[in-house]
Amino acid sequence: MARALLASFADSLSLRDPDAPLTPSQMRTEILSGLTVALALVPEAVAFAFVAGVEPLVGLYAAFIVGLITACLGGRPGMISGATGALAVVMVSLVAQHGVEYLFATVVLMGLIQIVVGVMRWGKFIRLVPHPVMLGFVNGLAIVIFLAQMGQFKVPGTAEAVGHGIGGGEWLSGASLAIMLALVALTMAIIWVMPKLTNAIPAPLAGIGIVAAIVIGFGIDVPLVGDMADIEGGLPPFHLPIVPLNWETFEIILPYAVILAAIGLIESLLTLNLVGEMTGKRGGASQECIAQGAANTVTGFFGGMGGCAMIGQSMINVKSGGRTRLAGIAAALFLLAFILFASSLIEQIPLAALVGVMFMVVIGTFAWNSLTILRKVPRTDAFVTILVTIVTVATDLATAVVVGVIVSALAYAWNNATRIHAKTYETPEGAKVYQIQGPLFFGSSEGFTELFQIANDPSLVIIDFDDSRVVDQSALQAIEAIAQKYENAGKKIQLRHLSHDCHRLLSKAGHLIVDSDDDPDYALAVDYGVRTGIIGGH
């Protein structure tokens, strides 16, 4: 396992991609795409820093470090990572109660947890997320991105207006609002038209550049990036979190670290799948977990607030032509250059241009076809999609995904529970045969017991499992119970076509099994548990 991971990381350090060779033209596209992403990262990082209750540079440093490391080592070229709102809303209570130094220590521990998840290859379990949950995820996240832009339509200069979306602050009105909306619409129009004219410059970058030139050239009074915060700073300094190294500190930061690690990995792995669908790539879940963990561990030692994959910026990058690691690396380095050298220039960019870019991201991210297929898919799938969308907007992504997976699993279990039935017939010798059909597990065990008419059955009963499958301990207990009832009634019972592990695990009914050459050979899920005594049985 370790050798495979090292080989994977060795391959990831190369900027070259056999499916997207770095020709001079592609290099230009990748670098310009990185510049576009970096411009969009600035207000996002500042806003999320305000949400978390920390200084803007804490968010900007996180966006730079996390973005750079994940671009170099991540499981999917083209993905963009940085400080995110999903993590910021969890951090705010930690910072408020214990201070920013505890946040840095938490981010370090969060990263270590993510590395463990990657080394153990637990990232593969993201494949258990059903498609309706994915639809709800992208729709909910599109709505969240849209709502996050509403803060830019408020009077700038307050943390409330910048960081809290639609809550707090005074809304723009009159001419100021009209100009803001006009510039947003102009940016969106440029992004829509630009690809029809040329692909030499990414459309979002063209939109930002043209609108910024109009605002600066005509001296239009609109909110600017500089109205949010001063982004000028130096290189992120190495900084050991100033917290007591004792058990009490560990008890404080561990719950936050686990929650942040889970949210970060879920959002990153779902974004990885989404980017993979757009670029035609698969795999890389474990590598992405390790890259996210390494990035957050380093970030915690350099005064950053941590981060994860950003679906909005990833969509900007992919749709601007970014396909290799160069785009993500360029975005991180451009962001650092903004902090060190070009803060005064970047602060002149109108927020309306960046809002227009993000609105186009919302339009491209939202699964519009889901609105039409909701009437065609099973009601359970439609319900899960809507539920995940609502929970994503109301709470956070991790909660929404967990809720969606649980509801989908329960719906699947119920659907299979109702499938259990039996075909019955009598043999020439007068025996009654129950031919069981459908899976036998905890959800269907009660229905299984209701199939039999013990009082009215003849003296010999045969239960045939050829078209069924025994899944868990509840199924074994149901078989034992039925066998006992027939024996108590003084009737003989035979069990046919049970797998060999069922032979071993059944105790009372084991001697009733009739061996056959065509017995199935599947592994029972409770095999280990019964043998070790963890699950009931012998």
CATH code, 448:
3.30.750.24
- Phi, psi (deg, nearest 5) at residue 79: -75, 145
CA distance 317 to 76: 12
**Residue 353 domain flag:** yes
Q: How far is CA 17 from CA 10, 78, 143, 311, in A?
A: 13, 11, 33, 22
Asked if residue 243 and residue 104 are part of one domain, the reply reads yes
End-of-domain residue from the set 358, 393, 416: 416
Residue 491: which region, alpha, beta or left (left: phi > 0; alpha: psi -120 to 50)?
Answer: beta
Q: For each of the chain's 538 residues, which pLDDT tens digit applies?
A: 445 544 544 455 455 554 556 788 889 999 999 999 999 888 888 878 887 888 989 999 999 999 999 999 998 888 999 988 878 878 988 999 999 999 999 999 999 999 999 999 888 888 788 889 988 988 988 898 888 888 888 875 544 444 444 444 688 888 999 999 999 999 999 999 998 888 788 889 999 999 999 999 999 999 888 888 888 889 999 999 999 999 999 999 999 999 899 889 988 988 888 888 777 777 788 999 999 999 999 999 999 999 999 888 898 898 888 888 999 999 999 999 999 999 888 989 999 998 998 899 889 888 888 888 888 888 899 999 999 999 988 887 778 888 999 999 899 888 888 889 999 999 998 999 999 999 998 899 999 999 999 999 999 999 999 888 888 888 889 998 998 999 899 999 888 888 777 777 776 666 677 766 667 766 665 543 333 333 333 2
Asked if residue 388 and residue 506 are part of one domain, the reply reads no
CA distance 512 to 506: 10
- Find how far residue 175's CA is from the centre of its chain: 41
**Residue 317 domain flag:** yes
Percent of the chain as helix, strand, coil, to the nearest 5: 65, 10, 30
**Residue 178 domain flag:** no
CA distance 35 to 205: 8
Asked if residue 485 and residue 395 are part of one domain, the reply reads no
Asked if residue 321 and residue 406 are part of one domain, the reply reads no
- Find how far residue 75's CA is from the centre of its chain: 14
- Phi, psi (deg, nearest 5) at residue 160: -65, -50
Beta bridge partners of 439: 469
Beta bridge partners of 486: none
**Residue 537 domain flag:** no
The answer to whether the CB of 201 falls within 8 A of the CB of 194 is: yes
Asked if residue 435 and residue 305 are part of one domain, the reply reads no
Asked if residue 359 and residue 346 are part of one domain, the reply reads yes
Asked if residue 385 and residue 356 are part of one domain, the reply reads no
Task: Burial-class residue 200 by CB neighbours within 10 Å (0-12, 13-18, 19+).
Answer: exposed
**Residue 62 domain flag:** yes
The answer to whether the CB of 502 falls within 8 A of the CB of 475 is: no
In the prediction, which pLDDT does 166 show? 40
Residue 74 tokens, joined: 């991540």
**Residue 298 domain flag:** yes
| Distinct helix (H) and strand (E) counts, the chain | 23, 7
What letter represents residue 243's amino acid?
Answer: V
DSSP per-residue string spanning 24-89: HHHHHHHHHHHHHHHHHHHHHHHHHHHHHTS-HHHHHHHHHHHHHHHHHH-SSTT--EE--HHHHH
Q: Please enumerate in sequence order all residues whose Cβ is within 8 A of that of 186, keeping only pairs 6 or more positions apart, or say none.
A: 207, 210, 211, 214, 356
Residue 503 tokens, joined: 């032979």
In the prediction, which pLDDT does 327 show? 93
**Residue 428 domain flag:** yes
Domain of residue 475, residue span: 419-532
Asked if residue 141 and residue 48 are part of one domain, the reply reads yes
In the prediction, which pLDDT does 330 show? 95
Asked if residue 70 and residue 105 are part of one domain, the reply reads yes
Asked if residue 124 and residue 33 are part of one domain, the reply reads yes
In the prediction, which pLDDT does 532 show? 34
Asked if residue 464 and residue 436 are part of one domain, the reply reads yes
In the prediction, which pLDDT does 530 show? 39
- Buried-state track 279-289, b at ≥16 Cβ within 10 A, e below 16: bebeebbbbbb
C-alpha count within 13 angstroms, C-beta hemisphere, residue 366 = 16
**Residue 112 domain flag:** yes
Q: Give the 3-state secondary structure of residue 170.
A: coil
Beta bridge partners of 463: 434, 495
Asked if residue 288 and residue 147 are part of one domain, the reply reads yes
What letter represents residue 529's amino acid?
Answer: G
Looking at the structure of the chain, the number of domains it has is 3
CA distance 332 to 514: 67
Q: Please enumerate in sequence order all residues whose Cβ is within 8 A of that of 177, keeping only pairs 6 or more positions apart, or say none.
A: 153, 171
End-to-end CA distance of the chain: 36
